[in-house]
């Protein structure tokens, strides 16, 4: 096996086991581990290489608790929609997922850190700005960096969960975090060492369900 083969396997293994970690141990994640992840994540592509993403590493217990207070009612709203059948999940057995998500929502403030992914709006490519702020296209300059971060954390044995729910409470979160005008939060990444081992496999659609050739030819109308 060549060095390239080993590297490919290692990268693929990290990608295959970087799910959402919703239960954390009480072991502190050192700053140098988080900084190493950000160092690696910064090489993600962005429009015009403008690099609009900035990170707030939230350690303060009071600030984490304030963000958790924003998150919990939003999750409870979504949970009611799941249970009421008005929002679907991509799995048949939702019980374990709901239990894990509930635990996560109730314990966010206890995580080792919450990393807030912020976007400097002036550094977005022009076509990524709509009349009311960044449009969906802005994600192409933001979320590759976020995913790099989650992968780099996983490679160091650190779990993470990406959430955008708190972004619904943008103004309250900005006041808590001191985010100035011209900067918006794109996500919150809750991080910590996992309370149990990383999964060896994750439930995902197959390649055959995810790809077609030349023209959209998936059967059935999107629901």
> Is residue 92 helix, strand or coil?
coil
Residue 123 confidence (pLDDT): 93
pTM: 0.90
CATH of 12-210, one of 3.30.460.10, 3.40.190.10, 3.40.109.10, 3.40.50.720: 3.40.109.10
Tell me the two tokens of residue 182.
Answer: 């011209």
**DSSP-assigned letter for residue 157:** T
Residue 194 confidence (pLDDT): 97
DSSP state letters, 50-119: ---EEEEEE--HHHHHHHHHHHHHHHHHHHHHHHHTSS--SSS--HHHHHHHHHHHHHGGGSSEEEEEEE
Angle at 142 (CA atoms; ends 139, 144), nearest 5 degrees: 95
| Cα–Cα nearest to 46, from 142, 118, 113 | 142
Give the chain's radius of gyration (CA, Å).
18
Residue 132 confidence (pLDDT): 80
Q: In what order do the strands lie in the sheet with 113-120?
A: 53-58, 113-120, 183-192, 159-163
Residue 95 confidence (pLDDT): 65
Spans in the chain with pLDDT lower than 50: none
Residue 220 confidence (pLDDT): 65
Query: CA-CA distances (angstroms) from residue 73 to 17, 68, 69, 77, 127?
Result: 29, 9, 7, 6, 34
């Amino acid at each position: 096996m060549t060095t390239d083969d080993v590297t490919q396997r290692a990268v693929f293994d990290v990608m295959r086991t970087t799910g959402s970690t919703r239960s954390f141990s009480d072991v502190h994640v050192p700053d140098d581990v988080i900084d190493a992840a950000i160092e690696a994540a910064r090489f993600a592509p962005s429009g015009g290489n403008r690099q609009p993403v900035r990170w707030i590493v939230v350690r303060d217990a009071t600030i984490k608790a304030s963000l958790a207070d924003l998150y919990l009612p939003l999750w409870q709203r979504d949970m009611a929609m799941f249970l009421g059948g008005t929002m679907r999940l991509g799995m048949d057995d939702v019980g374990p997922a709901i239990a894990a998500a509930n635990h996560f929502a109730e314990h966010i403030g206890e995580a080792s850190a919450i990393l807030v992914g912020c976007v400097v709006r002036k550094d977005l490519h022009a076509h990524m700005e709509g009349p009311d702020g960044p449009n969906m296209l802005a994600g192409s300059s933001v979320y590759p960096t976020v995913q790099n971060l989650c992968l780099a954390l996983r490679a160091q044995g650190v779990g993470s969960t990406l959430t955008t729910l708190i972004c619904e409470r943008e103004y309250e979160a900005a006041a808590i975090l001191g985010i100035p005008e011209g900067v918006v939060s794109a996500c919150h990444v809750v991080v910590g060492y996992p309370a149990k081992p990383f999964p060896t496999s994750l439930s995902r659609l197959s390649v055959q369900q995810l790809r077609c050739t030349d023209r959209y030819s998936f059967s059935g109308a999107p629901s």
